[in-house]
A and B are shown apart, each in its own frame.
Chain A
Amino acid sequence: MSHDHDHSDGPAISETVLRVKALESLLVEKGYVDAQALDRLIDTYENKVGPRNGAAVVARAWADPEFRRWLLADATAAIGSFGFSGRQGEHMMALENTPQTHNMVVCTLCSCYPWPVLGLPPVWYKSAAYRSRAVLEPRQVLAEFGVVLPEDTEVRVWDSTAELRYLVVPMRPPGTEDWSEDRLAPLVTRDSMIGTGLALAPEAVP
């Protein structure tokens, strides 16, 4: 798949724009879709559901050992306790990064991604480059993201081939031992929960 901005050799975007408009008009006219439902679907993933959800979950796992155990044992229920549930997150699994093990998530076959905790995936996650290379050369991909791991750290790649959806729990940054959940959450980036990044250092946030 080409990058979303690179449409030099694919179907023309101008033609696509017209096709989508015609399709929406047709489906509304035939009574198959409710135009207001479309607006609400878009608003949900553009404004309400996104990686701040996952960051709240990770921050609690860092701050509360009992919640961490629950998250690792039954991620669907633990995440559900925040009210985050449903489509593309029906069967959640949490993967904890440690000095010995670094987890990284991909979907080589399409774009499976834990919507309730991370929202819709970024373009790079859906790109042919990431989908082809994450399983083949994860260390090189991580290095491109600025993450260089010791040779004796196991890189565990998770290819989301079924309906299990993975949330990576990044390592808690040093120097945050007495921080509250609310203070910790901004350190948790989207990429750190996919496994292509690390949590931010305390000095990176104001």
Chain B
Amino acid sequence: MNGAQDLGGMMGFGPVEPEPDEPVFHAEWERRAFALTVAMGASGLWNLDGSRHARESLHPARYLSSTYYQIWLEGLTRLLGEAGLVTPEELAAGRQLVAPAPIRQVLAAGDVERVLTTGAGTSREPQAAARFEAGQTVRARNMHPFGHTRLPRYLRGRKGEVVSVHGAHVFPDSHAHGLGEDPQWLYTVRFAARELWGEDRNARDTVHADLWEPYLEPV
């Protein structure tokens, strides 16, 4: 979706401001918001792509004026409601008012290390032969889906070259919406800075992005 999360190429946000000796978290509530999000992600009721979609679905004004973990809190709250795990009245009260819904898995303290070090890879058996190969020129499609996508706006309609082929991976555009993993071939595509931003750019500079086959068309 063309939401506020799709920031590549926007202007007006000012300088990047690194913080010397930055702590991992800046407040206790950030620690808890982070951990609640990761722990509830283990419930099996939604996936990472659905989580990203919940965050990017925030109203753009709210997204851009919220801090990072405030956006996570909004995303988690939305997912919990959609999954029927909590009611708005419970969120307001901070206590249980209706019986808990069945949940596939509760992340136990003893399982944290194993779950984190195992992760959840997205590589899958391909469903068909790859349409593109390294060295081939492709164009990112001019597409504007209303649902989740990982094709940024600044690449749409632009020509690039496939530099590597990574096998098939879970397709976020389907996976975020409960449509299964729908594995699609994944490619790294190199775009010249001049193709993206115009002729006044350095002729050598490039931007690489990892793009699924349905985002690409042959040239």
Interface residues of A (CB under 8 A from B): 1-5, 7, 9-11, 13, 16-17, 19-27, 29-34, 36-42, 44-46, 50, 83, 85-91, 108-111, 116, 119-120, 122-124, 126-136, 138-139, 141, 144-145, 151-164, 191
Contacts and interface: CB of A to CB of B under 8 A. Distances in A.
A40 B95 CA distance: 24
B42 to A, nearest CB: 8
Contacts of B206: 154-157
Contact of A45 (B5, B10, B24, B69): B24
Question: What range describes how many residues of B lie at the interface?
Answer: 35 or more
A122 to B, nearest CB: 5
Contacts of A20: 29, 32-33, 36, 73
Given A108-B7, A109-B5, A19 B73 contact: yes
B100 A40 contact: no
B132 interface: no
B143 interface: no
Contacts of B43: 32
B178 to A, nearest CB: 19
B135 to A, nearest CB: 17
B40 A135 contact: no
A88 to B, nearest CB: 7
B39 A37 contact: yes
9 contacts: A16-B70, A34-B106, A40-B113, A46-B25, A128-B7, A135-B154, A155-B204, A156-B208, A160-B210
Contact of B109 (A36, A132, A155): A36
